[in-house]
Amino acid sequence: MPQEQKTEYTPRERVVAAYKGGFADRVPAYPIAGVFAGCLDGLTIEEYCTNPAKAARAMLNFYDRYQPDIMIAFNDLAKEAEATGCRVKYSDYVVPSIDQHVLQDDKGKLARMEVPDPRRDGRLPAFLEQCTALAAAKLPSALGSVNVGPCTIAMLMRNPELFCLDTIDDPAFVHDLMRFATDFAKRVGDAILETKIGLSYSDPTASCSLIGPDTYREFVKPYHTELVDYFKAKKVGTTVHICGTTHQIHEDLMDAGFVAITIDLDQQADPALKVDQLDRLVTLGNQRSVVAIGNADATLFERATRAEIEGEVRRCIDTVGRRSRFVLSTSCELPPRANPDCVQWFMDAARDYGRYERILDR
């Protein structure tokens, strides 16, 4: 049963209880919202990603509408690579992407490059402004930023296909590139911390759907561990989100020291894996003080019925709701054109079905 006799909890208190292995009144919940918040506010994707004042206002309006237990400062995953010299492509329907990789034609250029300054280069100063505005709002929710992890920075600088070939043909270069990207990720994290919000790294290209567990362990895990240790020395915990299949490296991610891990799955995966992966991660997390976050299928939010959204919430909570160290969330970022009603149904179901009074008394 809940450890205290309180009847009301703030969103932040729910999250803290889960991170400490305890229980509040219900499972904490939030959808991962980036450009969706801007589209909901009537912005184009490019406006949301380039105008920090409008982005911050959109995120605050998102909070007012849905009251999630965690709020994140998040625009897109191309901003760090753009600051190194890559070119970003915008559209009206999908998240920003890189269409010109700075090292694609000349990997020797890396030796002549300097790590960007997040207070000066690209759109990073605007993102810091957005983080500062969200922190100043003093929301009752937990608050963090979404930064790009070193593997994804590296792949976007080089080109994902070439990067994967480099792990075979030129592993020394891959380590040099990961060294650069990790130093950059640290530098961005330091700047984010000055805005008084927490750290979360999204590193989707580290997925076993793309590079495989052995490649992860050789070329990514040492830098993940270094990144975590760097901020741990500052008494700051870091979380990670990796898209695709990750059950092969759950223990590696825990070894690296992340305090929370967000679960995603390839849409073509065995549906049973959605349950198995969530159960495995929460089980390991309770053994090793790591929080699992996820994994309601984000792709449903464009056109699902209320019953389908509620079914995803029930699946997650029925799988692991009786245990702590779990935060209900979407498997990945909400699609830019998600149905706003689907997001509301998700939060409504979380508040009702996720009550510990109901879960623990079964």
Q: Could you give the 3-state DSSP secondary structure of residue 132?
A: helix
Burial of 18 (0-12, 13-18, 19+ CB in 10 A): buried
E-assigned strands of 120-248?
142-148, 198-202, 238-241
Q: Tell me: the pLDDT tens digits for 103-144?
A: 999 999 999 999 999 999 999 999 999 999 999 999 999 999
Range of the domain at 311: 11-360
Q: What is the CATH number of the domain that holds 344?
A: 3.20.20.210
Evaluate whether residue 3 is within a structural domain. Answer: no
Per-residue tokens: 73 = 């400062």
Evaluate whether residue 113 is within a structural domain. Answer: yes
pTM of the full structure: 0.94
Computed from CA positions of residues 216, 222, 225, 226, in that sequence, does the dihedral angle turn out positive or negative? negative
> Which amino acid makes up residue 220?
V
Average pLDDT over residues 315-335: 94
Residue whose tokens read 């998040």: 74
> Which amino acid makes up residue 163?
F
Evaluate whether residue 2 is within a structural domain. Answer: no
Other beta carbons within 10 Å of 349: 22
pLDDT tier at 362, thresholds 50, 70, 90: low
Residue whose tokens read 């029930």: 314
pLDDT tier at 19, thresholds 50, 70, 90: very high
Domain count, the chain: 1
- C-alpha pair distances (Å), 25 with each of 8, 143, 250, 293, 324: 7, 20, 28, 18, 12
Query: What pLDDT was estimated at residue 313?
Result: 97
Evaluate whether residue 164 is within a structural domain. Answer: yes
Residue 96, H or E segment: none
Q: Tell me the average pLDDT of the chain.
A: 94
Q: Tell me: the pLDDT tens digits for 41-80?
A: 999 999 999 999 999 999 999 999 999 999 999 999 999 9
Per-residue tokens: 163 = 């990067």
Evaluate whether residue 168 is within a structural domain. Answer: yes
- Using the predicted structure, report yes or no on whether residue 249 has a pLDDT greater than 90: yes
Other beta carbons within 10 Å of 94: 13
Residue whose tokens read 């690209």: 122
- Using the predicted structure, report yes or no on whether residue 267 has a pLDDT greater than 90: no
Evaluate whether residue 6 is within a structural domain. Answer: no
Q: CA angle, corner 30, sides to 26 and 31, nearest 5?
A: 145
Evaluate whether residue 62 is within a structural domain. Answer: yes
Q: Tell me: the pLDDT tens digits for 282-311?
A: 999 989 999 999 899 999 999 999 999 999
**C-alpha closest to that of 79 among 16, 24, 31, 127:** 127
Evaluate whether residue 251 is within a structural domain. Answer: yes
Query: What pLDDT was estimated at residue 7?
Result: 72
